[in-house]
Structure 1
Amino acid sequence: MNATPTEPPMIQVDNLSCAHEPGGPDFLSDISFSVYPGEWVSLVGANGTGKSSLVKRLNGLLPASGGRIAVDGIELADSTLGDIRERIGMVFANPDNQFVGLNVADDIVFGLENRCLDRTEMAARLARYAAMLGIEAFLDRHPAELSGGQKQRVALAAVLALEPKVLILDEATSMLDEQAKQEILAQLRQMRETGRYTLISVTHDTDEILATDRMLALADGGLVADGKPRELLADPALLEQLRLRPSFAMELAAALRERGIAVPPRLNESELMEALTQWHSPSNK
C-alpha cells in the first residue's frame, strides 16, 4: 500500500445513512471510513447489503439520507458534484452498458469530447491509455467484436482516459472468465504500484479481495469489519456472515490438514505451493 495514515484521506465518509427512497427507512446507517491516496480497498458483503448503493453515493449518483462525504478534500454537495465526478471514475460489471461509440477509439474519447479537451490532448490520452491496457490493436473494431476481457479493458481505458484520482470497480470482474479476470487483476496491481490511483473494488471474488490492501465488510445495515484481507478472510464466522466462499487455497489447505498433511491455512496458491514444497523436502522427513 502506498498510502500512509499521515496523509489526508482521499475519501472521507462520516456517519453516512442511505435509504431507497426519500423519507424511507435506512438500509445503511452510521457508516464511517476513510480511504487514503494510493490505497486499494475492497468493499465486501452478501448480495443485497448495499455495496453498490454505497459507492454510488460517493459521487452523487444516488443521494444519501444523512451524513457527510468528502473526496479529495471537497465535501459532496449539489454545488460540488462536477468537481467530485471529475475525481471519481466508475467501471461496472457489464462493459456493454458503457459503450456508446461505433468503435473502441470512439468510446475512449467520448468522455474527453464531453469535457471539451483539444484534439491533441485527446489523441495523446487515447494513445497512452490504449497502450497501458494493451488494446491498440482493437481501436478500429466495434466493441461487440471483442471478448469479455477485452471489452472490460476498453471500459477501463475509457474511464482512465478521464484521469480520475479514484477508480471504483463495481463487480468489474464478475462476468469474466478466469483468464480475463486475472488479466484485469494484474492491470489493477500495476496501477496500484504506480501510486497514482486510489482504488475501490466492490467484489465477492476472494482473489480480488486478497489483492487489495484493505477490506471493508458490510452486513446487517452497517460496517462490521475493517482490516487486512488476510486476517479477515481467516475468520470462518465472518466468511459465513458475508456469504463468502473461502479461496481455493484455503479449501485445499483445510482438506490437506484433514488428511494429516501439516500445512498452515494459506490464503493464496503460491504460498500454499511453497508450504507443500517445504513439507515434501528431505529435511522435513
Structure 2
Amino acid sequence: MAAAEAEYAYELEQVSFAYVPETPILDEVTFRIASGSWVSIVGPNGCGKSTLAKLLGGLLAVNSGSITVEGRELTRESVWDIRPRIGMVFQNPDNQFIGATVEEDIAFGLEGRCLAREEMRERVQRYAEKLGISHLLSKHPSELSGGQKQRVALASILAMEPGIVIFDEASSMLDEKARGELLQIWQEMRKSGDYTLISITHDAEEIMASDRAIVLRGGAIAADRAPAELFEDEELLQACRLIAPYRVRLQQELRKRGMDGEAILRGRHTRRW
C-alpha cells in the first residue's frame, strides 16, 4: 500500500460548521495537509477539534466551504467513495468493539467490504502481528488492558487499509507506558510513508513527534507551525493549556541561564572553569 499520489491528503477552504446556526463551532477554516505527513490538531476544550475530526472523517457535512480529500471534493454524494480511504480511532476503544473476540472485531469491517474469506484471514493475521496482538485474537475485548484495546481498535482500522488515519484523543485514556507504546506505533506508521496521520490531542510528546501543529482557538486557526516552534510560544501554550515536554522545558531553562541546553542534553557540553 503506497501513499496517495495526490499532493495533498486534505485541502480545506473556508470551512464553517455549526450544530446550532447561532453558535458556530468552526468559522472559515482554511489549511492543507500534505499526503504522507503527520499533523497534530490542538487547542483548548470546546475549540472545535473533535468537530473538525468528524468533518475530516466524513461523519459530518460542512455548512459552507469545501473539503477536498486526495483531490476529490467531499460531498454527500462522494462521501461513500471517499470514506473507505479514511480510518478513525477514538478516545474510548470500547465504543469501537463489535465482535465477541479480537479476531472477530478486526474481521468485522472486512466482512462489510465483502472480501474473500482467505484474504480476510490473511489481513487479520498480518495486522494483528504488526501490532503485537496475535496472542490476543481469541480473547474477549473485556479481558484486555486499555493499551491492548487501543491496539485492537487500530488493527481493525488498518486492516481496511486506509490511506488516512485520524486519531481523536486516542491516547488520552491510556497510562504512560501504553501511551509510549502507541506513540511508537504511530512513529513507525509515519516512517512507512503509507499513511497520512492526523491526531487530535493534548499530549505534548504526541505533538512533538508530529511534523506540524495546527492550533484552533474559538473555531479559527490561531497558529500553524512546527511543534518545536509551538512549544516556544508561552502565551499560546497557556491559552491551549499545553505543557511542553520535559526535555523542551529543560532546554529552555538552561538557555535562560546562558547554557547550550541542546548540547548538554546530547552530552556534548564541555564545562569551562
TM score, norm. by length of structure 1: 0.89
* 1:204-283 matched pairs, under 5 angstroms: 204-255=202-253, 260=257, 262-264=259-261, 273-274=265-266, 277-279=267-269, 281=270
Distance, in Å, in 2 between the alignment partners of 1:35 and 1:91 is: 19
CA contact (8 A) 1:59 1:76 kept: no
Deviations 1:213-265 (A, max 9, x none): 0110001220111111111211111111222112222333455567x57243x
Match of 1:121 among 109, 119, 122: 119
Deviations 1:104-123 (A, max 9, x none): 00000000001111101101
Letter in 2 for 1:51: K
CA contact (8 A) 1:59 1:84 kept: no
Q: Which residue of 2 aligns with 1:99?
A: 97
Moved more, 228-237 or 243-252: 243-252
**What secondary structure sits across from 1:224 in the alignment?**
strand
Distance, in Å, in 2 between the alignment partners of 1:254 and 1:81 is: 46
List runs of 5+ in structure 1 lacking aligned partners: none
Q: Which residue of 1 aligns with 2:201?
A: 203
Moved more, 206-215 or 80-89: 80-89
Distance, in Å, in 2 between the alignment partners of 1:105 and 1:152 is: 14
Q: 1:231 to 1:256 in 2, by over 3 A?
A: closer
**What secondary structure sits across from 2:77 in the alignment?**
helix
Q: Which residue of 1 aligns with 2:85?
A: 87
Q: Which residue of 1 aligns with 2:143?
A: 145
Distance, in Å, in 2 between the alignment partners of 1:63 and 1:167 is: 18
CA contact (8 A) 1:19 1:28 kept: yes
Q: List structure 1 segments (4+ residues) > 6 angstroms apart after TM superposition.
A: none
TM score, norm. by length of structure 2: 0.93
Aligned residues with identical type, % of pairs = 47
Is 2:8 the counterpart of 1:9?
yes
**What secondary structure sits across from 2:213 in the alignment?**
strand
CA contact (8 A) 1:59 1:81 kept: no
Distance, in Å, in 2 between the alignment partners of 1:112 and 1:65 is: 32
List runs of 5+ in structure 2 lacking aligned partners: none
Task: Kindly tell me the number of residue pairs found equivalent between the two proteins.
Answer: 271
CA contact (8 A) 1:41 1:216 kept: yes
Q: Which residue of 2 aligns with 1:162?
A: 160
